[in-house]
């Protein structure tokens, strides 16, 4: 196996047109970045045992990144999980998930596998199940508790993940540190103040990366179109990439 292996459980932005799945990926079969609504379905389809996920890393609380967590918790409670799982996210992640679950699966938190809730703090690396992650503040939705990207070290490789964000200092910092950067790219040319696009932002982000670093685009629209960026991959649903 390669040192770093990323499998995309989805690659779409919030609108997931034309049959796409919402963005999220599994690193080395153990670390799930984002819990989109179809996370459990995608893991099962890919043959990745949900009970083998040791940590979930959440960038922010928008539904396309979070609403799959109750289904994962349901699986872990009832389908044989015996090991603890760590959920890393912005402040109040546990409260948000408990509030959703209280109205949808009222007994979800009664018994079951141990869940360790960890609030990430920008600039302070934390370790969980062999994964080292450091949150980086990015610019997305100021009404949420926080918006994080992450710098991660997995099997000695440096992975960056932007979460959802406009091009900002945090995103550029992630790019400078990464061997592999997974970046949102929400539109081709449409300009939003809380997201990045292909035409204006990706060339600047690519330029901030080392020449031999890889860029992987996700959180995509249905009409991203062609690009000519070096060492840049457009993620597709259920694909695996290795470095």
Site residues, Zn ion (CB under 5 A): 62, 164
Q: Provide the minimum distance between the beta carbon of 166 and Zn ion in the complex, in angstroms, as a whole number.
A: 11
Q: Which is nearer to Zn ion, 58 or 133 (CB)?
A: 58
Least CB distance to Zn ion at residue 184 (A): 8
Residue 22 CB, shortest distance to Zn ion, in Å, is 10
Q: How are the residues of the chain apportioned to helix, strand and coil, as percentages rounded to the nearest 5? A: 25, 30, 45
Q: For Zn ion, give the closer residue by CB, 85 or 87.
A: 87
Q: What is the rounded distance in angstroms from the CA atom of residue 206 to the CA atom of residue 229?
A: 7
Tokens of 226: 């062609």
Q: In a 3-state reduction of DSSP, which class is residue 99?
A: helix
Tokens linked to 151: 């710098």
Nearer to Zn ion, 15 or 78 (CB): 15
Q: What DSSP line would sit under 145-172, residue for residue? A: S--EEEEEEETTEEEEE--S--S-HHHH
Burial degree of 178 (CB within 10 A; 0-12, 13-18, 19+): buried
Residues 85-123: b if buried by 16+ CB within 10 A, e if exposed: bbbbbbebbbebbeebbeeeeeebeeeebebeebbbeee
The three-point CA angle 225-166-182 to 5° equals 60
Nearer to Zn ion, 7 or 59 (CB): 59
Smallest separation, CB 142 to Zn ion (Å): 12
**Which one, of 192, 101, 174, lies nearest residue 136 by Cα?**
174
Q: Closest CB to Zn ion among 134 and 164?
A: 164
Q: How far is the CB of 183 from Zn ion (least distance, A)?
A: 14
The two three-digit tokens of residue 191, written as one number = 């300009």
Find tokens 């330029």 and name the residue. Answer: 207
CB of 144 to Zn ion, least distance (A): 8
Q: Which is nearer to Zn ion, 54 or 164 (CB)?
A: 164
Least separation in angstroms between residue 156's CB and Zn ion is: 30
């Amino acid at each position: 196996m390669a040192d770093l292996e990323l499998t995309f459980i989805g690659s779409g932005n919030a609108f997931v047109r034309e049959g796409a799945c919402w963005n999220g990926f599994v690193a080395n079969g153990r670390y799930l970045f984002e819990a989109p609504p179809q996370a459990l379905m995608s893991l099962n389809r890919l043959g990745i045992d949900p009970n083998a996920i040791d940590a979930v890393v959440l960038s922010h609380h928008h539904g396309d990144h979070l609403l799959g967590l109750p289904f994962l918790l349901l699986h872990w409670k009832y389908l044989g999980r015996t090991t603890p799982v760590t959920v890393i996210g912005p402040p109040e992640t546990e409260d948000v998930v408990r509030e959703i679950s209280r109205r949808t699966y009222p007994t979800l938190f009664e018994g079951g596998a141990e869940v360790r809730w960890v609030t990430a703090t920008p600039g302070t690396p934390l370790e969980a199940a062999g994964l080292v992650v450091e949150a980086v503040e990015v610019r997305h939705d100021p009404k949420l508790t926080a918006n994080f990207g992450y710098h991660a070290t997995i099997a000695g490789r440096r992975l960056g993940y932007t979460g959802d964000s406009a091009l900002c200092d945090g995103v550029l910092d992630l790019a400078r540190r990464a061997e592999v950067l997974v970046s949102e790219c929400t539109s081709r040319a449409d300009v939003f103040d809380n997201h990045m696009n292909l035409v204006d932002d990706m060339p600047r982000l690519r330029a901030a990366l080392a020449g031999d670093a890889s860029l992987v685009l996700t959180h995509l629209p249905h009409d991203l179109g062609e690009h000519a960026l070096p060492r840049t991959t457009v993620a597709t649903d259920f694909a695996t990439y290795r470095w």
